Structure 1
Amino acid sequence: MILKDIIQRYDVSKPKQCIHLYNYLLSNISKAHTLQSAFQYLKNGGFSTSRDAVRRYIHWAQDSWLLFMVPIYSNSLKEQERNYKKIYAIDWALANRNSLIWDGSYSRALENMVFVHLYQRWHRVHYYLTRKKRQELDFIAVDSHGHPVTALQVCIDITQGDTLKRELGAIVTTAKYFGIKENLIVTYNQEKDFHEQGVSVKAIPAWKWMLSPA
């Protein structure tokens, strides 16, 4: 896919460098990414490159539906550019096969699958950082008018008290701030309803959520 859709399509002059970058990005699914970190990775690997070249490689990956670079939710383009982006792949199996190393994190695999499904529903998907405590919300989906409609966290296991507190904290704060009604924690196989500070949050297994009507 990389060779056919990107290397040949764009007549990439340094294919080894380009593929090395993609393998690095595919190894960091669901993690924070900046242009500088990608540029520095190639430099540290002994590649002669530029930030503009790295920017082009990433743009081609997105244009070819290999990767998604998910920005923070903000009405300010400057803030979107200033903050890191999160990396997701169109196909988790492809990412796993082409990554340099896999840490065995099934939570990252689940998060990637949830992102792809959410993107298919809404097309505009961001992550969000709450304003005071800078708690990270995995996903916030936005409708065609730019209004946040879904706040969503991904959590394999919600039985751990500290984990649940963290996940609920970010989602409740975000839901209250934007007035979001659909608030979800997508889990591996657990289901439960929560009511916190006037906000309803539903924990739902991934399979059940993905099979539910949009």
Structure 2
Amino acid sequence: MGNPVIETKIRDFSIEDFLPIVPRELDLGEPARPKAGNLVKVVTGMRRSGKSYRLFQEMESLLASGVARDRVCYFNFEDDRLGRITPATGDEVLEAFYSSHPGAVDDGAYLFFDELQEMDGWGAWLRRIVDTTKATIYVSGSSSKMLSTEIATEFRGRALDFELLPYSFREFVVSRGLLEPGDVRRARDHDKRDRLVLSNAMRDYLEQGGFPAVAGLPAPQRIALLQSYVQRVVSRDVVERHDVARPRVASTLARRALGSNGKRMSIRKVENDLRSLGMPTSRELLGDLMGYFEDAYLLFRMREFSVSMSERTTSVPKVYAVDPGLAVASAGANVSDEGQRLEESVYLELRRRNVGFRRDGISSYHTREHGYEVDFVVGDVLEDAAYELYQVTASMDDAATARRETRALWELMSEQDLAEGYIIVGDGERRDYERGGRIIHQIPAWQWFLDVPA
């Protein structure tokens, strides 16, 4: 007799229960025809960032293209009723599906496995299914380890990975009905009223963030929900998964790291601070925990642009939360850090726009001559080549701020022999600065986020 929980989950699933689906801009490419040995498409990201709905979006597209419903199987492994999840659980899922839909064996199935990392030994199990099943397979997971370690071991080039972050600003305004899906107008083509609405929406985005479930919640409820997200990631994806012996240290470090959003965070200083609070720890443990936080997509660390690997290991990285709303929920009382959240949001957008690019290809930079800091250099560390330069600032109205932001770009553009640089400004107008055949483009933040790169 089959597992009644599994049979019920498969029988009762209906895509209609999740409509309407806000379309995500993460392109998974054309679906392959089902066959054994197909590449697996893996969508990873933090819990509650919308991975399930991105799978639903793919399913909806398949059904609209004429794929029969009885060839599509969706199963979410994050369910306490399942108990300990093993490869045998996965086999039961497929047995229950094919028993109800035997035609999918010969016609080929489209299999969607949500939060598959909950299964012990999921990598070897999935490899077996890929090799023996006529199927096209999509997987989601809440740990980047699904990409770096386990997939590299089990699949060796037989999986494509896709990183899904919470809503971008464009997705944020679409989800709120301020833009239609697929609206690709250049930002400068919007009329005066639209510009005002979208500029205000940019401020809302920096305050509320892009986790889908927070939309429309009053501030206290939004903050409580986002704090619960952090607690669940720390408890499930860090403490439990990595058997961390000091959960209080993990929780405190997570709050400290997210509260350092957009700033450099010294592990040595954190170690001293925690010891003074009566929490003995070590730099080794804190370093491991920061790596676990990154694996769970709670935050990212960005280092200095350098060709010297030894320099990179000793520099103090900047910390960016995975979402500006998460940073607000983790900040101390009376902390106003909109400038840091704008910088963080630009970093996240650069990750979205550079899919497949080596992650350390986004870094900060200090000029050689005067040590001026440029917020973001998008380039290749190993080749010592800078491709795009970005400064981020709340406003350029103050003459001293304008001089500081532009001088760093002028100097780095000269060092790298680049013709263009960009300043993304929270509050200001579009304008250009020119000097010696080089140009700096100043772009209002809401326009930069909405403009689709050519």
TM over 0.5: yes
1:34 aligned partner: 266
1:60 aligned partner: 292
Residue from 102, 109, 117 that aligns with 2:341: 109
Residue from 378, 398, 421 that aligns with 1:141: 378
Given that 1:27 and 1:102 are in contact with CA atoms closer than 8 Å, whether structure 2 keeps it comes out as: no
In the TM superposition, what is the alpha-carbon distance from 1:96 to its structure 2 partner? 1.7
In the TM superposition, what is the alpha-carbon distance from 1:110 to its structure 2 partner? 0.7
Letter in 1 for 2:352: Q
Letter in 1 for 2:244: V
In the TM superposition, what is the alpha-carbon distance from 1:145 to its structure 2 partner? 7.4
Rounded Cα–Cα distance in structure 1 between residues aligned with 2:282 and 2:432: 49
In the TM superposition, what is the alpha-carbon distance from 1:101 to its structure 2 partner? 4.4
Helix, strand or coil for the counterpart of 1:9? Answer: helix
Residue from 415, 425, 437 that aligns with 1:198: 437
Given that 2:305 and 2:381 are in contact with CA atoms closer than 8 Å, whether structure 1 keeps it comes out as: no
Show the 5 A alignment for 1:70-149: 70-101=302-333, 103-122=335-354, 123=359, 124-143=361-380, 146=383, 147-149=385-387
Structure 1 residues 80 and 102: alpha-carbon distance in aligned structure 2, compared to 1, 3 A threshold? farther
The C-alpha deviation readout for 1:22-78, integer Å capped at 9, x for no partner, is: 101111111112221222222222211111101101110111111111100000011
Rounded Cα–Cα distance in structure 1 between residues aligned with 2:246 and 2:407: 46
- The number of residues matched between the two structures is 214
Residue from 416, 425, 431 that aligns with 1:178: 416
The C-alpha deviation readout for 1:93-139, integer Å capped at 9, x for no partner, is: 11221234452121111111111101222342101111121111111
Structure 1 residues 41 and 5: alpha-carbon distance in aligned structure 2, compared to 1, 3 A threshold? same
Given that 2:262 and 2:318 are in contact with CA atoms closer than 8 Å, whether structure 1 keeps it comes out as: yes
Given that 2:327 and 2:341 are in contact with CA atoms closer than 8 Å, whether structure 1 keeps it comes out as: no
Letter in 2 for 1:30: G
1:157 aligned partner: 395
Rounded Cα–Cα distance in structure 2 between residues aligned with 1:59 and 1:49: 16
In the TM superposition, what is the alpha-carbon distance from 1:210 to its structure 2 partner? 1.3
Rounded Cα–Cα distance in structure 1 between residues aligned with 2:279 and 2:444: 43
1:6 aligned partner: 238
Identity fraction in percent: 25
Greater CA drift, 122-131 or 135-144: 135-144
Given that 1:151 and 1:184 are in contact with CA atoms closer than 8 Å, whether structure 2 keeps it comes out as: yes
Whichever of the two has the greater Rg, that structure is 2
In the TM superposition, what is the alpha-carbon distance from 1:19 to its structure 2 partner? 0.7
Task: Using structure 2 for the length normalisation, give the TM-score.
Answer: 0.45
Structure 1 residues 129 and 19: alpha-carbon distance in aligned structure 2, compared to 1, 3 A threshold? same
Question: Unpaired segments of 5 or more residues in structure 2?
Answer: 1-232
1:46 aligned partner: 278
Structure 1 residues 131 and 101: alpha-carbon distance in aligned structure 2, compared to 1, 3 A threshold? farther
Helix, strand or coil for the counterpart of 2:394? Answer: coil
Given that 1:172 and 1:197 are in contact with CA atoms closer than 8 Å, whether structure 2 keeps it comes out as: no
Rounded Cα–Cα distance in structure 2 between residues aligned with 1:84 and 1:101: 26
Helix, strand or coil for the counterpart of 1:155? Answer: strand
Helix, strand or coil for the counterpart of 2:395? Answer: coil
Helix, strand or coil for the counterpart of 2:365? Answer: strand
Instruction: Tell me, yes or no, if structure 1 residue 167 matches structure 2 residue 405.
Output: yes
Letter in 1 for 2:451: S
Rounded Cα–Cα distance in structure 2 between residues aligned with 1:169 and 1:161: 12
Structure 1 residues 45 and 180: alpha-carbon distance in aligned structure 2, compared to 1, 3 A threshold? farther
Task: Using structure 1 for the length normalisation, give the TM-score.
Answer: 0.93
List structure 1 runs of 4+ shifted beyond 3 angstroms: 99-102, 143-146
Letter in 1 for 2:270: A
Structure 1 residues 44 and 55: alpha-carbon distance in aligned structure 2, compared to 1, 3 A threshold? same
Given that 1:73 and 1:128 are in contact with CA atoms closer than 8 Å, whether structure 2 keeps it comes out as: yes
Helix, strand or coil for the counterpart of 1:127? Answer: strand
